[in-house]
Amino acid sequence: MPKEYHYNWELHLQASPEALWPFVADTNRFNRDTGLPPVERLGIHNGVSHMRFRLPVINVEWDENPFEWTYPYRFGIVRDYKKGPLAEMRVLCELSPENGGTLLRYQVWARPRNPLGDAVIGLGIGLVSARRFEGVFRGYDALAAAGKSPLDAPGAARLSTGGRQRLEAGRARLESFGAKPGLTARLVSLLKESDDLSLVRMRPFALADYWNTPRRETLEMFLQAARLGLLDIQWELICPMCRGAAESHASLGEIHAHSHCPSCQMDFEANFDRQVEVTFSPNPAVRVLGENALFCVGSPQHVPHINLAQGVPAGETISLSTLLEAGPYILRSRLGDIHLRAASGGADTVDIHSQDLPKEEILLSLMPSLRLHNSDSAPLDFMLENGAWGNQAATAADVTSLQLFRDLFANEALRAGEELSISSVTLMFTDLRDSTRMYRQIGDASAFGRVRQHFEILEQEIAGQGGAVVKTMGDAVMAVFRQPLGALLAIQNAHAEITKTEGTPPLYLKVGIHSGPCIAVTLNERLDYFGSTVNAAARLPGLAEGGQMVLSDQTASDPQVSEWLKASGLVHEAFDANIKGFEQSFRLWRVKL
């Protein structure tokens, strides 16, 4: 049997394991930074990827087993080589807390296939990799210790010819549209200085959180920048299992409800507020990215929502510790899902037995030890997944509910006949009290002028609260919001302004607001919404008097809405009513504006 080589490098670093993890566990970035060539995935079977990279003289092919890891302490991988000078390689990286910093231990085990393999291992791993690995790890440590993220990793920026001028001109235009100078400066700096991997898939909500800037303000700046030609928009279909981009499209009209994830080998239905995420990349006229090369697949940082991935051999027990955020988690295996919740005061040690999976939710601490017992006759893979879905994703539902998006990208809509479900959205319908009598009293021209003025006020206030006007119907408006409270604030402000407008008779709004699931479609070449939630919302203004809004119980019971109603002092009362087209009675709330 060929000799097995073993290398063990230890580094004492300043940053904590948690700060180092986003750098170290991003093996795609690490492999690139250490000089490895790009890889190509030839296929995948039962979770094992068949990979290849090309060297000047030979091609190397291998089967890459799934990574195993426990955030933020360890990860490892086994590669079985099919072509080339190596037979097998195993890698294990461990990060142990040490005096406020980290002891990083990186081990490699390698077996050669032939005499050339001995030379490759001795020279490539023993000498070249040893020097490169230390330099890269210490570079990561300097960034992590300074509180930086991989977004701050310096890159070899390749601005296009005239790119610098386009950036500065675009920055001035953005600020003329109302973007804050500090925010535009961050975007310009990102496009000039960050490395390619940070710019291929920019997520505005994640950047806003990192920059400590308002999410909507940041997203709207990105939309404006896309309209100016500084950025390109990408509509990505997100796999519900790995939460990676299964597909990426340049237009909303190119996406469809049915998708397939090549990594997970599964089909899924795209949901508008979960599986469709909007990301951005630099426009080639500003910044040229290198070829979208892949240096590693399956890295822990590709799926940061998974805290732990571990295979347990048949008849064995493995104990692992991890760090959790407060909230829900799911421990998955082929035997079923176990629901857990991390919270202060939860259990520090939890035993999971394969033959007796608990049915009730388990409360565990924020730094638990999990003992995974596999009494089965076959190996068992466990995966601990954060149950909070996409909290940093700017979804298609988020973006298309902004008035700015509808104004800037009026032609963006789903393809004809395509329908995508939305789990929850808030819809508002407004009507003017006695508008027909107003037309008779003051004449068509004067009445229409007042109606148009009220439209302008509504659109301004709806946009100011993060909503969008879907369409107008006579003197009525249909608007969409991602957050129910935004609808209430918008209509309160709008009604106050409308009642101040000059003219006789005075104008009063009748408003209905309802929240729930619906379907996103294209109607008359514009994005629209259909379903029972829309039908019910459209009928609610008929139950209101002038100067009132009627809320469904689904809207009124939203925690933010409930708290606002109590604090606002507005008179509100519950009542039950039948709505045309629905058999059941609705619990509703009438609120005087």
Task: Grade residue 403 by pLDDT with cuts at 50, 70 and 90.
Answer: very high
DSSP assignment of 102-129, as one string?
Answer: EEEEEEEEEEESSHHHHHHIIIIIIIII
> What confidence tens digit (pLDDT) does each residue in 114-146 have?
998 888 888 888 888 888 999 999 999 999 999
Cα separation of 417 and 263, whole Å? 29
> What confidence tens digit (pLDDT) does each residue in 165-221 have?
999 999 999 999 999 999 999 999 999 988 888 899 999 999 999 999 999 999 999
Question: Is 533 strand, coil or helix?
Answer: helix
Please state the rounded mean pLDDT for residues 568-589: 91
The pLDDT value recorded for residue 157 is 67
Q: How many CB atoms lie within 10 A of CB 249?
A: 15
Q: Domain boundaries in the chain?
A: 5-148, 163-282, 306-386, 405-592
Average pLDDT, the chain: 91
Cα separation of 399 and 405, whole Å? 7
CATH code of the domain made up of 5-148: 3.30.530.20
Residue that has been written with the tokens 């397939």 in this structure:
260
Strand-pair partners of 11:
104
> What confidence tens digit (pLDDT) does each residue in 12-71 have?
999 999 999 999 999 999 999 998 889 998 888 877 889 998 877 788 999 999 999 999
Kindly state the tokens that stand for 379.
């190996």
pTM of the predicted model over 0.75: yes
> What confidence tens digit (pLDDT) does each residue in 228-279 have?
999 999 999 998 888 888 899 999 999 989 999 887 888 999 899 889 999 9
Cα angle value 486/487/489 (rounded, 5°):
65
Q: What is the enclosing helix (H) or strand (E) of 204?
A: helix 204-211
Cα angle value 146/148/152 (rounded, 5°):
130
Question: Is 430 strand, coil or helix?
Answer: strand
Question: What are the C-alpha distances in Å from 312 to residues 82, 284, 371, 562?
Answer: 25, 47, 10, 47
What CATH architecture does domain 405-592 belong to?
Answer: 2-Layer Sandwich (3.30)
231 neighbors 281 (Cβ within 8 angstroms): yes
What CATH architecture does domain 163-282 belong to?
Answer: Orthogonal Bundle (1.10)
Instruction: Label the pairing between strands 245-249 and 231-238.
Output: antiparallel
Residue with more model confidence, 324 or 263:
324
